[in-house]
Amino acid sequence: MRNLILLAVALTCFSTLNAQKSNIKLQTKYGSDHEEIHSLLRFQEIETIKLTFTGADLKAKNYRLLVKEYTNGSLAQTDTIIDSAKYEYTPAVNDTIFEFKYYVKTQVNNTIKMNFMFDRFSTPRLYPIKAANDNYALHDFLKTSEPMPIDLNKATYIMGYFLPYIDKDTGWKKYCDVSGSTHKPEDWGTAFNIPNYYLIEIEFE
């Protein structure tokens, strides 16, 4: 029994050390400040968000960007968008500011198109729609207007793209209560009966 307790303590300490506090913060901005571009995005039903990470701890850090798809309450697939430690064209962050733009659209051919746009490259993706009767919505994970803290060596969800859920009291279809709920993002499918959604995750190390 004593050995089991020591092992549990050791694992807890390792987990704590593995995820390190940092001064990295995330701020987001939806849409475009340019009126005509903003109108065009709305006409094309494209949602876009600019993600800006700031902090001295960003310098010389590699980053990993993933898209996780959940279907009927379970993880259906994990797609690695970028792993900067593996490819020369995606070097480690070399500044105290790191940012990219994310575009997403539900297309008429029953696919979801995502594009992660950086200064020198972009990474488009297409995913088949699992449930086409409702529109998906893009939400970030910032709880308030204040920047979101980001730990080092810890995978952090930064965005979700998901179908609505049915409010049991009103029968209305809703989105807003999902990303702001106390439920873990991995549990949205079962907690809200959402058949299909995507989570975008980043990790700096």
d(C-alpha 81, C-alpha 78), whole Å: 9
d(C-alpha 166, C-alpha 171), whole Å: 6
In this structure, are residues 82 and 123 in contact, taking their beta carbons and an 8 Å threshold? yes
Q: How large is the C-alpha radius of gyration of the chain?
A: 19
- Which of 40-54, 68-82, 127-141, 187-201 bottoms out in mean pLDDT, i.e. has the lowest? 127-141
Q: What is the mean pLDDT of the chain?
A: 88
Highest mean pLDDT among 21-25, 119-123, 174-178, 190-194: 21-25
**pLDDT(169) > 90:** no
Q: How many CB atoms lie within 10 A of CB 75?
A: 12
pLDDT digits (tens, 9 = 90+) for 46-98: 999 999 999 999 999 999 999 999 999 999 999 999 999 998 889 999 999 99
d(C-alpha 16, C-alpha 11), whole Å: 9
Q: Enter the tokens of residue 188.
A: 């949205």
